[in-house]
Structure 1
Amino acid sequence: MFSNISIFVFLSLESFVYSIGHTYFRMDAFKRGQFKFRSLPRCLSLAIRSISFERLDNRPLSNTPSLPRRRNGISADSYNEIRKLILQAPLPTAVLQRSPTKEFSLDDIGIPLAASSYYILTLINECSTLVMFNKDHELCRIDLSNLLVLVHDLCWSSKLNMFLMAGYSLYTFNPRSCILSTIERITLARGEWIVSITIDSNSIYLLYSSRSARIECRSLFLLHTLEKQWLEKDFLRQTDFLAQCIRINQWNILAMTIKQKDGGWRVDLYDSNNLYRIHRGCSLGQGVPGMRNCLVMPYNRLWIVINNCSIPEQVILLDENGRMKAKTHLDKPRGCFNLCLVGDEWIAMNVKDKLRLYKVQS
């Protein structure tokens, strides 16, 4: 038979355990709710997090009439408000149909394009002139004609705070000092060049063009040591002709634009850790003979395809399984173009002799 003191201690322990479990459940529910917002643009995430969440206080987690109906740890009213924000977010295909929010002169055609949340970098005059902007004005122009630099693709590294430029060699460009440097440790064979470059948090992925194409994964940092390598047979099929552009999103999914031997283009999705093909994308249609300019960029969990190989050129939105979600033809001057994200709120486009900026949230 328990003494009064024993009963008191037992009840106190039971109350303590219940309190811990109750608190853990509430924190877990909140974390699970927050996790769902990570794939959204920053502007939506900030709006969602500004919504006030109701407290449960210390009331039991039972279905009592006094508690409002809840979904994923938040009240039904808050859930509906979040859902409304998400549904109202415009698709990139719709954003690019608007008039540009801002426009700057390039004076020549430039295809390579990349951006951080502040800087926008492109090359013009057959890659002999590097031009840098921010969201308000042009910052500088640098003549590269004496350096014999040829660049096919660009990307931004937030870890290095520099642009990486790939072509007949691999280069870095520091936007603060405006210094261009060659990465000497990466040497290319004669007749070989880097077609496309992309990075994840700690690695560089390089797509080479030669008699036998390959993809290398190298360390992002000083020694740039080779970590992994895949040959053409690992990512192209017998019916494929070439790969042209690679990009990685924050979920370690690598997208690749592929030209088939019948002239059509598609985008395949791979696990970037082992280059295992996750989804074989749908056909984007026949391309212009000889044209090799079908590009892709991540947009949260979606993918934007810049199809310069069709007439007129197209912007195609693919879902996370590589299926076509939306497609639009752009009313623009003749000539190839490219797109990139400037932070989470702007899309930059270089088209013929203009750099255009489109605000995602109007």
Structure 2
Amino acid sequence: METNIDELSSQLSTLTTNSEEIPKLDHRRPLSTFHLPSMSSCPMATDDNNHLLIFHHQRLILFQLPTFEILFFIPTGTFTNCQISDICFYTVSNCFLLASANTIYSLASDRSIELFQKFSNTIWSITYTSTSIFICYLFGASIEQWDFPSKSAFLVNSWVKEDLLETFDQGINCIRAVNQFIGMTVKERNFSWRIDIFDSLTMTRLRRGNTIQQENGLSNWIGILFPIDSFRWLFADGDEGLFLINQTDEQNYQQNNIMKIACNICLLRDVNTRQYNAIVVQSYEVLQIFDVQ
């Protein structure tokens, strides 16, 4: 069933979060575990019906949550010879969007895959608001805003890296939107991360995040966001772990590490209350789902 994006944004914004509401997960028993070895930030996304779609070793796998029952898998070679760089669930059309090279494909509930739109450059990350789809190109070289009225494509705006980042920032890995806000994981000069928040209407920076250090000289590009609401974000950074970022207090941003290893994350909503009640965490070898209520 299709979900109205404004209703979804309202529901997200009412969720209150603090460091105690998503406790440290390392010593908690997961609701379910699925072993899927050799993962390093595999793209994945959840929909509104407790499904998880993940790209792993040239296959798209759709799971039923919370049991991780495999509903189907699709070899990506049937529609593209390139890797899947990002996945999001697009509530406007009630389908998953798959970014591959310079192309976005749609995956519908009947398993049909169609070409959604071709773009000018290699796509690195995708997200959307109630009106637009935002495309982040390779390492954040540029970001474009597109509207799709009546199944046509219309470029609304474009920003190059220099419009968005500071002089010594290296690039952008992941963009995610909620409530007309866009969060970006920014790779800083010393390979550490920063979570900056932008106004999607003007692409002006609203909040500059604090630096999240990478220890032991690590320089990976695993830096994935998931929005809880406009001020609270989950951030997965591989060996550095999973962080709960709280930017509600402008004078004192909070960054709490809640898991030691996390390469990607998704929140799962209760199908009846539509409130978040579980978190899916991807590590290098397993998918796990934890109750967070």
**TM-score for the superposition, normalised by structure 2:** 0.82
Please state whether the residue corresponding to 2:162 is helix, strand or coil: helix
User: Is this contact kept in 1: 2:224–2:263, CA < 8 A?
Assistant: no
Give distance in 1, aligned partners of 2:245 and 2:27: 14
Give distance in 1, aligned partners of 2:94 and 2:38: 27
Per the alignment, residue 227 of structure 1 pairs with 156
Please state whether the residue corresponding to 1:345 is helix, strand or coil: strand
Is 1:237 the counterpart of 2:166? The answer is yes
More strand by share: 2
Per the alignment, residue 233 of structure 2 pairs with 303
Paired AA for residue 171 in structure 1:
Y
User: Is this contact kept in 2: 1:113–1:350, CA < 8 A?
Assistant: no
Q: CA distance change for structure 1 residues 163 and 37 in 2, over 3 Å: closer, same or farther?
A: closer
Shift of 1:159: 1.5
Q: CA distance change for structure 1 residues 286 and 312 in 2, over 3 Å: closer, same or farther?
A: closer
Mapping for residues 21-36 of structure 1, pairs under 5 Å = none
Paired AA for residue 266 in structure 1:
R
Is 1:141 the counterpart of 2:73? The answer is yes
Is 1:94 the counterpart of 2:94? The answer is no
Task: Give the one of 87, 90, 93 matched to 1:157.
Answer: 90
Shift of 1:151: 1.1
- Structure 2: runs of 5 or more not aligned: 1-9, 270-275
Per the alignment, residue 222 of structure 2 pairs with 293
Shift of 1:351: 1.9
- Structure 1: runs of 5 or more not aligned: 1-35, 42-85
Give distance in 2, aligned partners of 1:37 and 1:342: 13
Paired AA for residue 141 in structure 1:
F
Shift of 1:316: 3.6
Larger Rg: 1
Q: CA distance change for structure 1 residues 196 and 95 in 2, over 3 Å: closer, same or farther?
A: same
Q: Percent of aligned pairs with the same residue? A: 22
**TM-score for the superposition, normalised by structure 1:** 0.67
Task: Give the one of 45, 48, 66 matched to 1:117.
Answer: 48
Shift of 1:315: 2.3
Per the alignment, residue 14 of structure 2 pairs with 40
> What RMSD, in angstroms, separates the aligned Cα atoms of the two structures?
2.6
Shift of 1:275: 0.5
Per the alignment, residue 146 of structure 2 pairs with 218
Is 1:342 the counterpart of 2:236? The answer is no
Query: Using CA pairs below 8 Å that are at least 6 residues apart, which structure has the higher relative contact order?
Result: 2
Per the alignment, residue 99 of structure 2 pairs with 166
Please state whether the residue corresponding to 1:233 is helix, strand or coil: helix
Task: Give the one of 247, 253, 258 matched to 1:319.
Answer: 247
Give distance in 1, aligned partners of 2:226 and 2:17: 22
Please state whether the residue corresponding to 1:291 is helix, strand or coil: coil
User: Is this contact kept in 2: 1:93–1:327, CA < 8 A?
Assistant: no
